């Protein structure tokens, strides 16, 4: 009993210390970012007293960097001072999204005005903000900032999501109002289509583009990198199992991957196809979805969603195989390498144009 009590005491103290240290680190990080914001403010205010801002910046920053570095050490290079200057300019003239109500839309015009005039509250590291400032399009920058806060992205994960063109993939196919909401609320999932991406980028599987691999090897690679795959799927996905067997009249069928979506409150089935999508693949997924709706899901849960993940697909096959007003079965392509961001943007733009052409 004494040993058990001692172990319990140790665990409680350990949790307390770790929690305290985490809070201290967060406090230090917040204070550092606020300090850099105010340094940028002082630099801008000093420049505004001169006739030429560019000349003042060129003259004052190197001297200022030398003095601050000799006194405080690293962190005050000319480049970093320039970042602080830019940081203040960006976040003093536009509403920062780094606040507790980050995923809530303003309820009135007056509320929006009051938020813009309030002091920014920063919830990310300085390294996050340095990276975000490189994103020139304001709506895109705000989206990545919101998602970094809401999903607790590390700097590495932020860079990976940006390089995989997450914003463009989610914006593709949305109207202007929905695209604007991405920069105000982030990625909000309200319907099945909100949870689907096209394409999915699976470079973390470390499969070679021209390598021959089977669907079973593809599935095994995903399972071995399940945490990364869940991040790529997006928020709300919970893993249920693989190779889920269903039986009809002694015939067995196996669903590659089964997930549950806690936001949509429904099962999501994923079938993997390494070749080109065929109409029979869609019919098979329809069978899986119908079975889950009839036999597995509870009455309080929403209808099952099916995703066919394929290397190639023809939109005409999808159009004429799926039923009208379909909102349960989706087809998405996957890429097993991280393409150049501009290349990915061009591919998605071409895909949107092609979808429009066959639907007209």
300 token code pair: 């309080």
Tokens 């780094």 identify what position? 98
- What pLDDT, on a 0 to 100 scale, did the predictor assign at position 212? 79
- What pLDDT, on a 0 to 100 scale, did the predictor assign at position 113? 39
- What pLDDT, on a 0 to 100 scale, did the predictor assign at position 281? 93
143 token code pair: 């989206």
Residues 167 and 199 in one domain: no
How do beta strands 329-335 and 305-312 pair? parallel
Tokens 């196919």 identify what position? 173
Residues 148 and 222 in one domain: no
- What pLDDT, on a 0 to 100 scale, did the predictor assign at position 351? 63
Residues 122 and 200 in one domain: no
Residues 288 and 329 in one domain: yes
| Successive 10-residue mean pLDDT values, the chain, 360 residues | 61 73 73 90 79 62 89 89 92 59 42 50 93 94 95 94 91 80 91 91 85 88 96 95 91 95 97 91 94 95 96 85 89 86 69 55
Whole-prediction pTM value? 0.79
Q: Decide which of 152, 183, 214 is a domain's last residue.
A: 183
Residues 149 and 218 in one domain: no
In a domain, 10, yes or no: no
- What pLDDT, on a 0 to 100 scale, did the predictor assign at position 314? 83
**Rounded to an integer, what distance in angstroms lies between the CA atom of residue 349 and that of residue 199?**
12
In a domain, 78, yes or no: yes
Total domain count, the chain: 2
- Give the CATH number for residue 254: 3.40.1350.10
| Domain hosting residue 85, numbered range | 25-183
Strand partners, 248: 251
Contact 283, 322 (CB under 8 A): no
SS3 326: coil
Helices (H), 133-264: 138-150, 155-163, 166-171, 176-185, 215-224, 226-233
Whether a cis peptide bond, with omega within 30° of 0, leads into 199 is yes
In a domain, 1, yes or no: no
**Rounded to an integer, what distance in angstroms lies between the CA atom of residue 349 and that of residue 236?**
27
- What pLDDT, on a 0 to 100 scale, did the predictor assign at position 43? 86
- What pLDDT, on a 0 to 100 scale, did the predictor assign at position 117? 46
In a domain, 30, yes or no: yes
Query: Which residues are within 8 A (CB) of 8 and not within 5 positions of it... i.e. 6 or more apart?
Result: none
112 token code pair: 């929006």
Query: Which residues are within 8 A (CB) of 307 and not within 5 positions of it... i.e. 6 or more apart?
Result: 196, 268, 269, 270, 271, 329, 330, 331, 332
- What pLDDT, on a 0 to 100 scale, did the predictor assign at position 221? 95
Closest CA to 61 of 92, 39, 31: 39
Q: Decide which of 129, 161, 183 is a domain's last residue.
A: 183
């Amino acid at each position: 009993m004494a040993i058990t009590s001692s172990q319990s005491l140790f665990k409680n103290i350990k949790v307390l210390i770790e929690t305290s240290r985490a809070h201290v680190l967060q406090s230090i990080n917040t204070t550092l970012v606020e300090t850099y914001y105010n340094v940028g403010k002082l630099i801008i205010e000093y420049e505004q007293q001169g006739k030429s801002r560019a000349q003042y910046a060129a003259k004052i920053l190197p001297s200022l960097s030398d003095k601050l570095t000799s006194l405080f050490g690293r962190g005050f290079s000319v480049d970093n001072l320039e970042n602080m200057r830019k940081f203040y300019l960006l976040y003093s003239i536009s509403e920062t999204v780094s606040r507790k109500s980050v995923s809530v839309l303003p309820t009135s015009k007056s509320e929006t005005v009051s938020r813009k005039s309030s002091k920014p509250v920063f919830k990310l590291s300085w390294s996050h903000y340095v990276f975000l400032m490189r994103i020139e399009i304001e709506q895109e920058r705000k989206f990545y900032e919101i998602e970094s806060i809401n999903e607790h992205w590390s700097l590495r994960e932020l860079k990976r999501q940006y390089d995989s063109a997450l914003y463009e993939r989610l914006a593709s196919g949305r109207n202007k109002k929905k695209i604007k909401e991405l920069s105000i609320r982030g990625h909000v999932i309200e319907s099945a289509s909100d949870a689907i991406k096209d394409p999915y980028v699976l470079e973390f599987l470390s499969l070679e583009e021209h390598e021959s691999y089977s669907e079973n090897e593809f599935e095994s690679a995903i399972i071995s990198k399940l945490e990364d795959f869940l991040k790529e799927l997006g928020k709300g996905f919970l893993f249920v199992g693989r190779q889920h067997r269903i039986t009809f009249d002694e015939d067995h069928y196996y669903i590659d991957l089964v997930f549950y979506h806690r936001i949509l409150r429904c099962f999501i089935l994923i079938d993997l196809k390494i070749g080109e999508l065929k109409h029979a693949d869609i019919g098979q997924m329809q069978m899986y979805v119908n079975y889950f709706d009839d036999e597995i899901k509870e009455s309080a849960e929403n209808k099952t969603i099916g995703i066919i993940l394929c290397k190639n697909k023809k939109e005409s096959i999808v159009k004429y195989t799926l039923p009208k007003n379909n909102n349960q079965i989706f087809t998405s392509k996957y890429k097993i390498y991280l393409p150049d961001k501009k290349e990915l943007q061009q591919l998605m733009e071409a895909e949107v144009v092609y979808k429009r052409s066959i639907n007209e």
